[in-house]
Amino acid sequence: MNHFQRITGTLEGTPLDQRAFIPVLSLYGARLTQCPLQQYYTDPVAYVEGQIAVYKAFEPDMVFTPFAFALIGAAFGSEIKISGSQAPNIGKPAITSIEEWDRLALPDFDTNPHLLYLQKTTRLMAMEFKDRVPIAACLPAPMDIPALVLGMEGWMELLMFNQKGAQRVLKQVSQFFVKLANRLFSQGAMMAFLPCGYASPAVLMRDSVESLIRPAMKQALGQLKGPAVLHHCGAPLLGHLDILTGLPSTVGFALNYEEGLEKARQVVGPDPALLSGPHGPSLVEMNADEVKTLCRSILQERDRKKDPCFILVTLGADVPYDTPAENLDAMGEALVEVGWNAL
């Protein structure tokens, strides 16, 4: 069974040779190729070489386009910084108020260097991996994009105290999001992974998610030309998961196993894929035996024995640059040891 068959089989709930395995190794490719991060996040060829190295080392069932949301903020004019061994981060937001937003032009997809980088990287990855390995476009969901432009404080202030202003922003960023996602689908991405931190009960009250976030997500996801997985982004999501079910194009949910995967399955129903596994940022602090034990526990003991639509992933942010390779090998070894027939 090849990687495409393993992913599509999971989405269809059909028997597999083993569970799909999708660690988020966007940044890790730079470690494997010893590529300077300034080059890695500006040169599509360098990034693709990193993902080729990721595949050769770990054979994941899916590879990711750059997990570098700061580049989207930079496309709007935010300042970014690359330091040490971390992916780009926002330094200074482009604007801080709704008045500035109303005067802000959306970036041009055909001239903006950051958007061109994302598009070309996706195209080159598709050419390299072709029918061997599916490609996931890693993008912020519409409600997470404004924080990259206004800053987290500016966006939270709008969400809490200026609903009409927040709706205006969401309408515009949704247009941008749809265009970018569909560009990446047209370049060869099979699926979009969409962290949606601002849907979390740790961030917004339920009525705000119902009145602002779900309508924006429904409108945007209804225009996608490919499937999407909604990602917990490191924040709790189960408490609002019911609000996010039934959205167009949504084929799966990536959730913290500690919230209760069986509860999540009850909320979303039998068909969407559930994705869970070790916290990516925590892998650097664990040893291989600990990683394998945790993965075996998730696969065997945490109510996933009879779930045909479960995928083993790394959660939260990207796997850190300094993570020992044997910790990632341990995830794959756990899958092989548990097997499909034993579930």
Q: What is the pLDDT of residue 159?
A: 94
Q: For the residues of 128-168, what is the DSSP string, one character each?
A: HHTTTS-EEEE---GGGHHHHHH-HHHHHHHHHH-HHHHHH
Place of tokens 């919230």: 259
Place of tokens 């394998």: 292
Q: What is the pLDDT of residue 38?
A: 95
Fold classified for 22-265:
TIM Barrel (3.20.20)
> Sign of torsion, CA 165 168 171 174?
negative
Cα distances (Å, whole numbers) of residue 293 to 18, 284, 288, 320, 332: 17, 15, 9, 20, 12
Q: H or E segment at 22? A: strand 21-22
Residue 77 has pLDDT above 60, yes or no: yes
Domain positions in the chain: 22-265
Q: What is the pLDDT of residue 15?
A: 80
Q: What is the pLDDT of residue 14?
A: 86
Confidence of residue 269 (pLDDT cuts 50, 70, 90): very high
| Least confident piece of the model among 13-22, 67-76, 126-135 | 13-22
Mean pLDDT of all residues in 305-330: 93
Residue 113: other Cβ atoms inside 10 A? 11
Helix, strand, coil % over all residues of the chain, rounded to 5: 50, 10, 35
| Least confident piece of the model among 69-78, 97-106, 296-305, 329-338 | 296-305
**Token representation of residue 270:** 């039998």
pTM: predicted TM-score of the whole model, two decimal places: 0.95
Instruction: Report yes or no: 272 and 253 within 8 Å, Cβ to Cβ.
Output: yes
Average pLDDT over the chain reads 94
Most confident listed range (77-81, 83-87, 129-133) = 77-81
Q: H or E segment at 12? A: helix 3-12
Instruction: Report yes or no: 113 and 71 within 8 Å, Cβ to Cβ.
Output: no
Tens digit of each residue's pLDDT (9 = 90 or more) over 36-74 = 999 999 999 999 999 999 999 999 999 999 999 999 999
